């Protein structure tokens, strides 16, 4: 299985970086190769231009960007999803990872 690249986008990239760590641990435990990283909404464009991304997930605090992000990745086959607010609040890395992997298949 190839490495799945999952980009998380949030307001500043701070709280989401904790979720990234939990997702990486869950991926390791499941034996899934991933490249998971968090960026602020302001940085998202440059990462989308410079790095191949399999899934783009938005933090609940930036869910208003969903349509805008879908437009940016149109034709690239990159699913865009808002992270479930409960999973985000509980920092449930396993559930968020599972959703991202489901979207990337």
pTM, to two decimals: 0.94
The residues spanned by each domain of the chain are: 4-104
Half-sphere exposure of 84 (CA within 13 A, CB side): 13
CATH architecture of 4-104: 3-Layer(aba) Sandwich (3.40)
pLDDT tens digits for range 59-92: 999 999 999 999 999 999 999 999 999 999 999 9
Q: Sort 61 into a burial class: Cβ within 10 Å, 0-12 / 13-18 / 19+.
A: middle
- Check 10, 20, 36, 65 and give the catalytic one: 10
40 annotated active-site: no
| Contact assessment for residue 81 and residue 99, using Cβ atoms and an 8 Å cutoff | yes
Considering only CA atoms, which of 92, 44, 102 is closest in space to residue 72? 44
pLDDT tens digits for range 27-68: 999 999 999 999 999 999 999 999 999 999 999 999 999 999
């Amino acid at each position: 299985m190839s490495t799945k690249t999952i980009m998380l986008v949030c307001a500043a990239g701070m709280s989401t970086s904790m979720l990234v760590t939990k997702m990486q641990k869950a991926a390791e435990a499941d034996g899934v190769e991933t490249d998971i990283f968090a960026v602020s909404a302001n940085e998202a464009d440059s990462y989308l231009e410079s790095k191949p991304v399999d899934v783009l997930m938005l933090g609940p605090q930036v869910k208003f960007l969903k349509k805008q992000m879908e437009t940016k990745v149109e034709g690239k086959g990159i699913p865009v999803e808002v992270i479930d607010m409960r999973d985000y609040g509980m920092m449930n890395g396993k559930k968020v990872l599972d959703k991202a992997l489901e979207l990337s298949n």
